[in-house]
Amino acid sequence: MSRIIEKLDPIPPNSNPYHYDLTRMGKDLDKTHHLMYAKFDNNEYVIIVHIPTGERRRIDLKKLFKQ
């Protein structure tokens, strides 16, 4: 069974997430978190990046909302 929240490989701390992910777009949630999503209307997941540590989490929206 796959998870709703999955830990992804981190990026370097305090780096620009778009230097490591050229396919998604996003927006700042606050000073330390950034939300990334697909450039298309059908977003099945989002990725939250914690900029100070570079940690990333993928959240499966279909499983979260049981679509």
Q: How many domains is the chain partitioned into structurally?
A: 1
Structural domain containing residue 26: 5-64
Token pair of 3, please? 């998870």
pTM of the model: 0.87
State yes or no: pLDDT of 62 exceeds 70.
Answer: yes
Report residue 67's pLDDT band, with 50, 70 and 90 as the boundaries: low
Q: How far is CA 56 from the centre of its chain?
A: 6
**Which letter does DSSP use for residue 49 in this model?**
E
In which element (H, E) is residue 63 found? Answer: helix 61-64
State yes or no: pLDDT of 66 exceeds 70.
Answer: yes
Cα-Cα-Cα-Cα dihedral sign, residues 5, 38, 52, 28: negative
